[in-house]
Chain A
Amino acid sequence: MKKYDYSDGVLIYYLPKELDHYAAEKIKSGSEKVLDENEVDYLIFDFRKTTFMDSSGIGLVTGRYRRVHDKGGKVFVVNVSESIDKILMMSGIYRIIEKKDTKEDIIKEMIAGGYYE
């Protein structure tokens, strides 16, 4: 199962079913390289499979946010269920990261903004 997808400045992380400390550590060590080697304008966290998350997930997202934001990139979360939304909301993360229904919504905006021209 693919953990992330990168093309044309867009990096999508497919988050696991249970995003706890154990899973967050694995994601960090496994796919940090892609952030080192590529320019990321848009970072998207896809929660479609995620049914559980605790504060370790918040640490993972904010850590990646810092890296991408420092270089002028934008960060989004998509396919967020109600229970995950509750955690994200409580953490205050929506002050810095935007939620969209699907990645297609983000791509539409990118096209409208002339990103692929």
Chain B
Amino acid sequence: MNNTNEMSVSFSSNAQNESFARMVIAAFITGTNPTLEEVSDVKTAVSEAVTNSIIHGYRNNTGQVIVNAKVTGRKIYIEIIDYGDGITDVKKAMEPMYTTRPDEERSGMGFSFMEAFMDRIEVESEVGKGTTVKMWKEIGTAGRQFE
């Protein structure tokens, strides 16, 4: 039996849509039978990536943010795609506390949170073309030894 499930949503880069993206992903991963904490982890990671697309990717214009997700058994794969400005130096952008916008009180912790809350993340970016953040997480693996 093939138990893979996929979904895709696209929305404009308005800040109100950050909560929409979190709701969609939380609903979609219900089938993996996650704990509340695991749902919260995934929502936070998605929120960080979508916020990055909105405030950095589309800082100069508006555009579409795409969230693709796939669930296979208890494995979750998520992509957040934008066609915005792109990131000049991905390695630097992923350093903790690094921000291009300290004036706007950005904490510079977005990528650190994504890494902390997911099992693995990858970032592909091209200046002028956009950014794709890929994230993986297997539900039911963290904290099992304590149960």
Q: Taking beta carbons and an 8 Å cutoff, which residues of A are in contact with B?
A: 18, 20-22, 24-25, 28, 52-56, 58-60, 62-63, 83, 86-87, 90-91
Contact = CB atoms under 8 A, between A and B. Distances in A.
9 contacts: A21-B51, A21-B54, A21-B55, A24-B105, A52-B40, A52-B44, A54-B47, A83-B40, A87-B113
Contacts of B104: 59
Contacts, number: 65
Contact of A91 (B54, B105, B107): B107
A115 B74 CA distance: 55
Interface of B: 15-16, 18-19, 22, 36-37, 40, 43-44, 47-48, 51, 54-55, 104-110, 112-113, 116
Nearest to A93: B107
Contacts of B44: 52-54, 87
Chain A interface main SS type: helix
A91 B18 CA distance: 21
Contact of A59 (B18, B37, B43, B105): B105
B110 A60 contact: no
Contact of A22 (B16, B37, B40): B16
B53 to A, nearest CB: 11
